[in-house]
Amino acid sequence: FMSHNWIVRFLEIGLFAGLIAHMIQGLLLWKQNRAARPVRYAVTKPQANSTWYSRSMGILGSLLLLFLVMHISHFFVGTKVALYSGDQPHNLYEEMKLVFGEWYIVALYMIGLIALFWHLLHGFQSAFQTFGWNHKKYSPIIKAAGAGYSVIICLLFALMPLAFYFQWIS
């Protein structure tokens, strides 16, 4: 039913468009920041002003892109090809059992989710700062909420590959 549901299809397109917009916005922001200071500081102490993960958004985003390509190739492409070619739809349960039965794929998923954790941790707080909601009274609450959000999302996403690999789901 998920393959033919127009609401799911609409959400898929929206997610893909949002991903493309997010990547373009990130690249434009990086370019704008570079143009604002074409000559680098002679002495840099980045740890004094920012976290390592906020300075590593490009690397983390690239890892996430590789993770998404791997995820989409495992679970999305085959299903769509079968759907539009008239073949028998894939059994997603069996597909997940097969894919997540391999230790190295589960390890790659965990690496992707660690990158997602750091990306979300920075992004959550950064979103509030972008809108000017940066205040010494509220920033610790925003940071804590961002950490909680990042942990919960990543743990929930990690449950499926781990559950299949350790055969918690039979």
DSSP string, the chain: -TTT-HHHHHHHHHHHHHHHHHHHHHHHHHHHHHHH-SSPPSS--GGGTS-HHHHTHHHHHHHHHHHHHHHHHHHTHHHHHHHHHTPPPP-HHHHHHHHTTSHHHHHHHHHHHHHHHHHHHHHHHHHHHHTT---TTTHHHHHHHHHHHHHHHHHHHHHHHHHHHTTS--
Neighbours of 37 (CB within 10 A): 8
The pair phi, psi for residue 119, each rounded to 5°, is -65, -45
- pLDDT (average), residues 36-58: 74
| Weakest mean pLDDT among 32-41, 115-124, 154-163 | 32-41
Token digits of residue 26: 């990130």
- pLDDT (average), residues 155-160: 96
* pTM score of the predicted model: 0.81
Range of the domain at 8: 1-44
Co-location of 58 and 88 in the same domain: yes
Looking at the structure of the chain, the number of domains it has is 2
Token digits of residue 54: 């906020």
CATH assignment at residue 118: 1.20.1300
Q: pLDDT for 123-156, tens place per residue?
A: 888 888 888 888 888 889 999 999 999 999 999 9
With respect to residue 170, please indicate whether it lies within any of the assigned structural domains: no
Co-location of 122 and 151 in the same domain: yes
